[in-house]
Amino acid sequence: MSQSQELGPISWGGIIATTCLLLFLFQKILWLVVPFLLALVLYYLLAPLAKRMVLAGFSSNFAAAALSGAFLLMLAGWLLLLYPWALANAEGWHTTLMRYMAGGYSLVDKILATFEKKFAFTGAHLSEAVHQKFTSVQDHFAEEYLGAFIITAAAWLPSLLLVPIIAYFLLKEGASFRKFLGAAVPNAYFEKTLYLTHAIDRTARLYLIGLVKLTLIDMALLSAGFWLLGISSPLILGGVGAFVGQIPFVGPLLGCLVALLVTGTDSPGNITLAYGVIGLFAGVRLLDDFAFIPLVIGKSLRIHPLLSVLMLFIGGTIAGVAGLMLVMPMLGVVILLGETLEIILTDPRLRARHAFALTLHKQASERDLRFP
């Protein structure tokens, strides 16, 4: 029986309340939370290479500096090349985006017209509402949407540059931090604290690396499906669909919408192909839920499915899309903390060992004060 099954209702209430409070606080400092999570992913990817360099004779400081510095140079070079290229092609991107939106609108309009024709008794006028919304977006896209996107991207750029810097200190100071934490814990609780730090590290590593692997698997499946369906740019569409698909609930829908925009533009009027795209995303989602997530991410998060669904809704309500992404790994870590604290607080032997250690320490400190 796992430890999570032994937690009482009070412990579970504290775990859920703590997770919600952390989500609320993290939403306020999202500019720091996101680069820290990305730095954790980078740290877990680079840690095996750093270990090999240390075994080869290099110091841990050199390994951390070399790996994180190489990533920082690669990121800076990529941004320096991307910036002038993006400025030179911005107008063409706007034209291409409008063309894809028009093609997607045409496809959606035909699907809605077919629906309204078959179900005329409902009196629905969805096509008219969609037409009005599309016209509004098309007329005000540059000033309302494009400008906001550019400002948001510019605001996030300094935060994202923190990723290799944080990863450097994680590679360099990770072991020292664990030793520092262990030294601050009373000896009676040292074993449980050591287990806790190891379990949190293992949970975060399995979840984050598993998420990267799952994204690559989804990218391969979606790209192969787009190629078989004859849709243009299958690798790019597969990458976009796999990346946004890791956002619970809204991610797969957003990725499918992007693919439908491309499908409606490249193959106007081909509703069968659009249904094929929808079927592809539905199939990949089912494979993720029933095969890849249990195998790739496995038991890194030992959370009941009902609690997972409830916490996803709570996370989305508290912190929006960021809450959907953060709630599950955060809940897994808080559960580990709750399990360990309950073991410590309810174990009479640990409390007795700690009390006896305090008594011995008090006797040792008073020994030199006694007169013969």
Triad 235, 79, 85: Cα angle to 5°: 70
Instruction: Name the maximum alpha-carbon separation found in the chain.
Output: 105
- Which residues neighbour 202 within 8 Å (Cβ) at sequence distance 6 or greater? 300
- Which residues neighbour 263 within 8 Å (Cβ) at sequence distance 6 or greater? 104, 107, 231, 270, 273, 274, 277
Q: Provide Rg for the chain, Cα atoms.
A: 27
- Is pLDDT at 161 greater than 70 in this prediction? yes
User: Which of 76-80, 139-143, 264-268 shows the lowest per-residue confidence on average (mean pLDDT)?
Assistant: 139-143
* Distance from C-alpha of 131 to C-alpha of 137, rounded to nearest angstrom: 10
Q: Are 211 and 258 in contact, with CB atoms under 8 Å apart?
A: no
Q: What is the pTM of this model?
A: 0.74
Q: Which amino acid is at 305?
A: P
* Distance from C-alpha of 71 to C-alpha of 92, rounded to nearest angstrom: 31
* Distance from C-alpha of 204 to C-alpha of 331, rounded to nearest angstrom: 11
DSSP state letter for 189: G
pLDDT digits (tens, 9 = 90+) for 308-329: 778 888 888 888 877 887 888 8
Model confidence at 1, in pLDDT bands (50, 70, 90)?
A: very low
Q: Which range has highest mean pLDDT (59-63, 151-155, 192-196, 277-281)?
A: 277-281
Q: Are 107 and 271 in contact, with CB atoms under 8 Å apart?
A: yes
Q: Which range has highest mean pLDDT (78-92, 165-179, 276-290, 314-328)?
A: 276-290
Q: Which two tokens stand for residue 311?
A: 């916490």
* Distance from C-alpha of 301 to C-alpha of 106, rounded to nearest angstrom: 43
User: Which of 48-62, 105-119, 154-168, 226-240 shows the lowest per-residue confidence on average (mean pLDDT)?
Assistant: 105-119
90 versus 245: which is more confidently predicted? 245
40 versus 302: which is more confidently predicted? 40
- Is pLDDT at 218 greater than 90 in this prediction? yes
Residue 344: φ, ψ to 5°: -65, -45
Q: Which range has highest mean pLDDT (7-11, 190-194, 217-221, 326-330)?
A: 217-221
User: What's the confidence (pLDDT) of residue 326?
Assistant: 82
Overall average pLDDT of the 231-248 stretch: 88
- Among 316, 36, 205, which residue's Cα sits nearest to residue 308? 316
- DSSP H helices, 119-144, are 126-139, 141
Overall average pLDDT of the 216-222 stretch: 94
Give CB contacts under 8 A, 24+ apart, made by 225-229.
Answer: 225/280, 225/283, 225/284, 226/259, 226/277, 226/280, 229/273, 229/276, 229/277, 229/280
User: What's the confidence (pLDDT) of residue 66?
Assistant: 92
Overall average pLDDT of the 145-160 stretch: 70
**Under DSSP, is residue 323 helix (H, G, I), strand (E, B) or coil?**
helix
Tell me how far CA of residue 21 lies from CA of 13, 28, 58, 92, 371, in angstroms. Answer: 12, 11, 42, 45, 54
User: What's the confidence (pLDDT) of residue 3?
Assistant: 43
Mean pLDDT of the chain, nearest integer: 79
pLDDT digits (tens, 9 = 90+) for 254-307: 888 888 888 888 888 778 888 899 999 999 988 887 777 777 765 556 677 677
- Is pLDDT at 59 greater than 80 in this prediction? yes
